[in-house]
Amino acid sequence: TGDINPTTILIPGLPSIIAYKPRISPHPSSALRDSKPLDPSQPETRNTAPAMAQSTAHRRLLQEYRALTNNPPEGITAGPVSEDDLLHWEALIQGPEGTPFEGGVFPAELKFPKDYPLAPPTMKFLVDMWHPNIYPSGLVCISILHPPGDDPNHYEHASERWSPIQSVEKILISVMSMLAEPNDESPANVEAAKMWRERRTEYEQKVRDGVRRSLGL
């Protein structure tokens, strides 16, 4: 159901990679723009996109997608998987230069709550990632994805956590920076954090091996 088209990503020294990029107009279609909310007294139908598009979350996500399309950050591609599901995005993040992730292109998904931007999305990598701040499941653990509230361990400043002024672009840029500079104070992957602290060379080689596997090399 997702309208996606292949995009070739060229990385010096490695074969071209066929990835997938969302193909959704950054401008709402007339169906989305002119739609009216569903009558709450009527049974819910499967196609609720027109009604949902009226919500703050959908208006905000369309606005953010338009901004990302017009001025994409270097090394990042992201957008909704389809017009029918604006709360589900896919992203590609290029490994930062000068890090063991260099040369990799890492697919991820973001899932947004219905009350976005009051609450943050979740982000999950769809390939194996050996990193202190990424759970073995691929789920990303980073301050900007944590909702406002108490931090009992005092690892984070309130300003680092999610707020409605944050954006998808800021999330993706923060995650790219996280790949280059892990935070081992409150790790999601304890073994990766321990290796990063105590056996840095081994950690970097393990990451490089994972990058090559993800590229099919």
What are the angstrom distances between the C-alpha of 206 and each of 12, 26, 32, 130, 133? 21, 39, 46, 7, 15
Residue 201 catalytic?
no
The CA-CA-CA angle for residues 31, 34, 40, to 5°, reads 95
User: Tokens for 135?
Assistant: 């759970």
Q: Where are the alpha helices (DSSP H) in the chain?
A: 30-34, 49-52, 56-70, 168-180, 190-198, 200-214
The rounded distance, in Å, linking the Cα atoms of 203 and 10 is 26
What are the angstrom distances between the C-alpha of 46 and each of 28, 49, 61, 85, 89? 20, 9, 21, 12, 20
Catalytic residue among 52, 141, 172, 175: 141
H or E element that contains 105: strand 105-111
Active site residues: 141
